[in-house]
Every structure is written in structure tokens, then in C-alpha cells.
Amino acid sequence: QIRAASTPLSHPPFSSGWSPTCWPSTVVLKRSGFHKSVTRAVADETSKDSLGKRPAEATLSQLGLNDQSVSEFVSECDSISRLTSILITIPGDIAGEFSDTIIAEGAVSCSVEDANVGTDDEQEMFHAGSLAGERAFVYRDPVEDEWLSSRGMWDQSRLIALFPQDVDIAEVVATASRILGIETPKYEMKGVVDEDWVQKVKDAFIAVEVAKGVWVVPTWLEPVDPAAINILLEPGLAFGTGEHPTTRLCMQWMRSNIKAGETVMDYGTGSGILAIGALKLGAKSADGTDIDALAVESSMTNASLNGVADKFFCSECDKDGGIENEKVGLRMDNAYYDVMIANILLPPLLALEERLALAVRPNGKICLSGVLNEQAPRVVEVYKKHFDDLSVDSDNEGMWACIHGTRRS
Ligand SMILES: C[S@@+](CC[C@H](N)C(=O)[O-])C[C@H]1O[C@@H](n2cnc3c(N)ncnc32)[C@H](O)[C@@H]1O
């Protein structure tokens, strides 16, 4: 059995519409072909933040699924296209365990949301951060995390579980209740979900213009503007589909600042989107690094898809800046790069200040993101030791920031 965590889903196991404002819950996929994807999804556990109250829909990238893994899942689970959905309202302190147990007993997926969602009693649970620390996009205070983890789920949590047709749902719910020593809760049948999951997954991704004249195009779509710079991506394996404002902020900065023939380091490369973008914008070579082995793999795959594999090299790193590949490590040690891009979180940006700064040649450029607007001054404060002319760009909503400057000579 494989367990993956993600956000509440309107149509588990997949749903459309990526949003940075997502809420944690649990989704479980129970087929062997999912090892890789699920490892990824667990890594993304309890991802994202929310300033608003309403859970956003989950996406492939959060689940770590791609088209192939979806197909595998579909073919491995005979009844996947006709799943019965049930709703159970349950106290928050047992919602997680109950979800796990019904998965173990036969549910294909289970998501958890606030039972009072959309009402005055809706509880804000996760905000401006994540329990997953560095793996998630927004940094949150560890003190608050402790508060959150002690708090469990919403006081009244709603489980939405999907079952294959051949599973006796009443029996599963009764068994799970027995195991947890609780009274069998009432549940509401929501009928049969009959979806073309693969199509649904594909529908969730569209081509996006991430900077003027720079598009991110899912592999199965034709470019909207064939004359533009088109970055082909296999969405779902790693962070970086072009949907997130920080990726766009970095790409917009790169579009105006990358010069032909430059050397680039994309630190925290994810899908490789920024490195590939830099190469398509004229960079001579781009190195990437990531603490996530799957991101490393995915970035190389995406570089091949874009015909830039010969100019892109990606190596795994550890969270303290140690780089697995010696050549890339030496470059980092020797102020090799004309441009350093790092779209990671505030804590690693602060912790890796020397590492990132000293990898940039004198007069070279740095572009840092992955931070909220209000966190930008802390980045500026730390990086001004090494960089001149540091300035901050914000996204249209004024929520996310990107900080850039020039290395002092
Ligand atoms: C927000 S994503 C950015 C992905 C992509 N560069 C983009 O702009 O869309 C951050 C990436 O940084 C990686 N990461 C997080 N902390 C890191 C660290 N300390 N060192 C290297 N990579 C890190 C994550 O695994 C993730 O792939």
C-alpha cells in the first residue's frame, strides 16, 4: 500500500487547477506502479499555504503524477473509472487515522476537508506556510507548526473517500471503526464517479505564457505561438510548471537579463523550467541542482524534451549546499557563474547565502525567489554583503517577491 498526501480533491485522485493556496489532507493511491510518484507526493506532504479560507483543488504536480503513471494506475485498477464516493463527517482528532484505515481496508483514495467549508464556522487551519518545512513552498514558523500539529485536522472534518465497485463499503467503514475503537460513523453515498481520469489530468494543464514571449507547454499540446520561446514540460514530476508566481517572476527577470553566452546555475531546479528557459534565452550552459533526486531526474528529462540536454547538467545536492557532482561543486566554489537563480524557500536562501553568493563571478547577477513580499527585506539584508543594487520585484497580487542584484567586484 502506498500513501500520498495532498490537498482536498473535488474529484480524487486528480483534479484540475493548480493553486499556490492549497490545504493539506490525505490521498491514498493503492497500486504498485505508483512507488515513484507517491514518493514524490509524500515529499510534498502538507504542501502550500493559504491566505484564504477555502481549500484549493489539488493538482498533478502536488500528487507527483504524470500521464504515464496515471495510465498505469488506470490499467491496474479495473474499476477505477467507476468509483463510488462517500462522505463521512468525523472529529478532527481521528480523521487522519480513519482515513488511513479505510485506505488500508479498500478505499482507493481519501481526502480530508473542513466539514464546515463555505459556512461561517469554517476554520482556517493552514496559512502562510506549511508543515512540510523546506519541502513546501512557503516557510512557516516552527512554533506555529507545533501548534498546528498538536491541533490535528479541523474540529469537524469531512472525509471524501472513493471505492472501487467491488468493495463492500459498509464493511470497510465498520472494520475501520472497530480497529480505531469508535462507533461506526454515518456516511453519505455520493454515487458513482465515472471519469476519464487521463483526460481529466490532461485537461488540468494548459499552455501558459510565463513571461512575454516565453511559454510553458505541456508535452501533449501544440504551442499556441510556435514562434515564441516554448518550454515543453512533462508536468507532474517536480515543482515548476510555470503556474506559480515565483517561477514567473524569475522567468520575467531572466527574460530581461540573461545575455547570450552566459553560464547559469539554477539552484533548486525542480522541473528544470528556469534552466531550460535560460538556455532558450541564449545562455551558453546551465547547471541545476536540487535536494530532490526526482527533480534532478525530471529536469534532465525535460532538458532532453527541449533539445538542450547537451547544455544542461543537473546534480543532486544536500540541504547544506554540498553538491554531489564534483565539477558542479568546483564551479560553485570558484565564482564560475554569470547568473545564479534560486527559487527556493526563505530558510535555505538565508542559510545558503555564502554558498550562492560566492558561486557568482564579480559583476555577475543573482535572482532569488520563493519568498513572500514581506520576507524580501530579510533576503536583501543578508545578500547585500555581496551584491549591489539589490531590488525587489513583486507579482501582480503583491504577495510573492523576487530579489535581484549584481555581485560586487
Ligand atoms: C519552489 S521550487 C522551484 C522549482 C523551479 N526552479 C521553479 O522556479 O519553478 C523549489 C525547488 O527547490 C528545491 N529545494 C528546496 N530546498 C533546497 C535546498 N536547500 N537546496 C537545493 N534545492 C532545494 C525543492 O526540492 C524544489 O524542487
Please tell me if the CB atom of residue 254 comes closer than 6 angstroms to any atom of ligand 1.
no
Q: What span, in angstroms and rounded, lies between the C-alpha atoms of 256 and 302?
A: 23
Phi, psi of 388 (to 5 degrees): -100, 165
Is residue 245 helix, strand or coil?
helix
Please tell me if the CB atom of residue 324 comes closer than 6 angstroms to any atom of ligand 1.
no
pLDDT class of 111 with cuts at 50, 70, 90: confident
Phi, psi of 26 (to 5 degrees): -125, 135
Cβ proximity of 110 and 99 under 8 Å: yes
Contacts of residue 160, defined as CB under 8 A and 6 or more positions apart, other chains included, come to 8, 9, 12, 85, 86, 87, 110, 111, 112, 113, 190
Q: What is the mean pLDDT of residues 73-82?
A: 48
Q: What is the mean pLDDT of residues 153-172?
A: 88
- pTM of the entire predicted model: 0.64
Q: What is the mean pLDDT of residues 369-378?
A: 92
Q: What span, in angstroms and rounded, lies between the C-alpha atoms of 318 and 291?
A: 5
CA atoms within 13 A on the CB side of 142: 2
Q: What is the mean pLDDT of residues 131-159?
A: 49
Please tell me if the CB atom of residue 18 comes closer than 6 angstroms to any atom of ligand 1.
no
Q: What is the mean pLDDT of residues 319-341?
A: 96
Mean pLDDT of the chain: 76
Q: What is the mean pLDDT of residues 280-290?
A: 98
- Looking at residue 310, its pLDDT comes to 98
- Give the range among 96-105, 112-121, 273-282 with minimum mean pLDDT: 112-121
Amino acid residing at 317: C
Q: Residue 105 above 70 pLDDT?
A: yes
**Strand-pair partners of 67:** none
Please tell me if the CB atom of residue 319 comes closer than 6 angstroms to any atom of ligand 1.
yes
User: How close is the Cα of 343 to the center of ligand 1, in Å?
Assistant: 6
User: How close is the Cα of 239 to the center of ligand 1, in Å?
Assistant: 8
Q: Which CATH number fits domain 205-407: 3.40.50.300, 3.30.43.10, 3.40.50.150, 3.40.190.10?
A: 3.40.50.150
Q: Residue 9 above 70 pLDDT?
A: no
| Separation in Å, CA 327 to CA 267, 272, 300 | 15, 19, 17
- Looking at residue 327, its pLDDT comes to 95
pLDDT greater at residue 347 or residue 251: 251
User: For the sheet containing 156-164, what is the strand order?
Assistant: 109-114, 156-164, 82-91, 187-194
Cβ proximity of 60 and 4 under 8 Å: no
Q: What span, in angstroms and rounded, lies between the C-alpha atoms of 247 and 44?
A: 17
- Looking at residue 398, its pLDDT comes to 87
pLDDT in tens, 378-400: 999 999 999 999 999 999 888 89
Pocket test for ligand 1, best of 344, 346, 352, 355 (most atoms within 8 A of CB): 344
Is residue 20 helix, strand or coil?
coil
Contacts of residue 287, defined as CB under 8 A and 6 or more positions apart, other chains included, come to 263, 264, 265, 266, 275, 312, 313, 314, 315, 328, 331, 337
Q: Which of 43, 85, 33, 84 shows the shortest CA–CA distance to 63?
A: 43
The 10 Å Cβ neighbour count of residue 408 is 14
> C-alpha grid cell for residue 67?
500521464
The domain defined by 2-120+153-201 folds into: Alpha-Beta Plaits (3.30.70)
Q: Residue 408 above 90 pLDDT?
A: yes
Q: Where in the chain is CATH 3.30.70.120?
A: 2-120+153-201
- Looking at residue 270, its pLDDT comes to 93
Q: Whose CA is nearest to atom 1 of ligand 1?
A: 344
Please tell me if the CB atom of residue 134 comes closer than 6 angstroms to any atom of ligand 1.
yes
Q: Where in the chain is CATH 3.40.50.150?
A: 205-407
Q: What span, in angstroms and rounded, lies between the C-alpha atoms of 207 and 235?
A: 11
> C-alpha grid cell for residue 114?
473542513
Q: What is the mean pLDDT of residues 179-187?
A: 93
Q: What span, in angstroms and rounded, lies between the C-alpha atoms of 238 and 400?
A: 20
Please tell me if the CB atom of residue 96 comes closer than 6 angstroms to any atom of ligand 1.
no
Q: What span, in angstroms and rounded, lies between the C-alpha atoms of 383 and 355?
A: 11
**Strand-pair partners of 79:** none
Query: Which residue in the block uniquely carries the three cell numbers 536540487?
Result: 290
Q: Residue 149 above 70 pLDDT?
A: no
Q: Which of 360, 326, 322 shows the shortest CA–CA distance to 341?
A: 360
pLDDT class of 24 with cuts at 50, 70, 90: very low
Give 341-402 as a DSSP string.
Answer: EEE--HHHHHHTHHHHHHTEEEEEEEEEEEEEGGGHHHHHHHHTTTEEEEEEEE-TTS-EEE
> C-alpha grid cell for residue 219?
508535452
pLDDT greater at residue 240 or residue 151: 240
